[in-house]
Every structure is written in structure tokens, then in C-alpha cells.
Amino acid sequence: MQNRLFNAIGLCQKAGKAASGAVACEKAVKSGKAKLLLIEDSASNATKEQYKSMCDYYKIHFLIVESIGEAIGKPGRIVMAVTDDAFCKMIQECIPQDYNQGE
């Protein structure tokens, strides 16, 4: 799962169909461009809850994943918004049905 997921996330970033970082992701969510929000599993509980609340309010699906920054080539990033439906579907298909998403 991890390798397919990393590849899908990296491909999404390279295709320009993602926003990463707190400000860019918040803007993508609030403008309606975000289709999926990925949150780093090492983020603090307060940060996870903040993004979960924002996703709930704007009705955007979110996933908690490992090493987002490494997958997109930007170490230290803890959040990424996917802005394309096809990439959203591709990334979600890399996640097993029984995966604990922190919800």
C-alpha cells in the first residue's frame, strides 16, 4: 500500500494537481478547489482536529497518511490538498477499506 500511495501522491504533486502547506491548503479548501485533504500522521492532535473540523465543515474527505513531505519532495509538509477528481480517486484506491483514517 505504502509504495502505491507514495507514487500516487508524488504524481499528483508533479502534475500540478495539489496544494501543499497550511496556507495553500486552507485556500484550496475554502475556495472549493480541494477534493481531498491529506494530513501527516505525525502532526499534532490539535492540528489534525483543526483540519478535520475544516474538512467536515466544507464536506471534503480527508485521510491521515505517513510522510506526505517525502512523497511530494518537500520534507516537513504536514498537509496537502488534492485538487483533481482523478487523482483523488487514484489516491483513495491506494488505501485499504479497513484503513484507520483517524475518524
Are the C-beta atoms of residues 38 and 82 closer than 8 Å to each other?
yes
DSSP class of residue 93 equals H
pLDDT at 36: 95
Closest to 91 measured CA to CA, from 102, 81, 76:
81
Domain locations in the chain as residue ranges? 2-93
**pTM, rounded to two decimals:** 0.85
**Structure confidence by residue, pLDDT tens digits, 14-36:** 999 999 999 999 999 999 999 99
Q: Does domain 2-93 have CATH number 3.30.1330.30?
A: yes
pLDDT at 95: 81
**Structure confidence by residue, pLDDT tens digits, 41-51:** 899 999 999 99
